[in-house]
């Protein structure tokens, strides 16, 4: 996934909040939606964009879709951002 797509996905405050919520662990779409005064369709749209940016993964169990963080993309993005630090800033 591209860093540009990752940064675009996290530019939205609702999507950042979804990522923060998912730090606690895997949640269903409904459990995520319960944290917002938004329609389920709007939250679903945000989840779709986060998934396209590969920031989250989904898994299906029975009639539910669960979402969890994909930490490898965060690590790649942090590695890229760290490249902007000077050597004296790395410590």
pLDDT reported for residue 68: 96
How far CA 82 is from CA of 7, 9, 14, 53, 62, in Å, comes to 14, 19, 25, 20, 41
The answer to whether residues 80 and 33 touch, using CB atoms and an 8 Å cutoff, is no
pLDDT reported for residue 91: 52
pLDDT reported for residue 79: 85
pLDDT reported for residue 3: 77
Q: Among 2.60.420.10, 3.30.450.80, 1.10.3470.10, 1.10.10.10, name the CATH number for the domain at 1-83.
A: 1.10.10.10
pTM metric for this prediction: 0.83
The H-or-E segment that residue 77 falls in is helix 71-82
pLDDT reported for residue 45: 95
List per-block mean pLDDT (blocks of 10 residues) for the chain, which spans 91 residues.
Answer: 81 95 94 94 95 94 92 83 70 52
Estimate to the nearest angstrom the gap between the alpha carbon of 74 and the chain centroid.
9
In the chain, where are the structural domains located? 1-83
Estimate to the nearest angstrom the gap between the alpha carbon of 29 and the chain centroid.
13
């Amino acid at each position: 996934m591209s860093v540009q797509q990752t940064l675009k996905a996290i530019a939205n405050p609702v999507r950042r909040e979804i990522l923060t919520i998912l730090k606690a662990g895997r949640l269903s779409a409904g459990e995520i939606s319960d944290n917002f005064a938004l329609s389920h369709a709007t939250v679903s749209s945000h989840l779709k964009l986060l998934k396209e940016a590969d920031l989250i993964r989904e898994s299906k169990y029975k009639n539910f879709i669960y979402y969890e963080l994909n930490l490898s993309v965060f690590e790649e993005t942090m590695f890229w951002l760290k490249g902007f630090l000077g050597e004296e800033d790395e410590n």
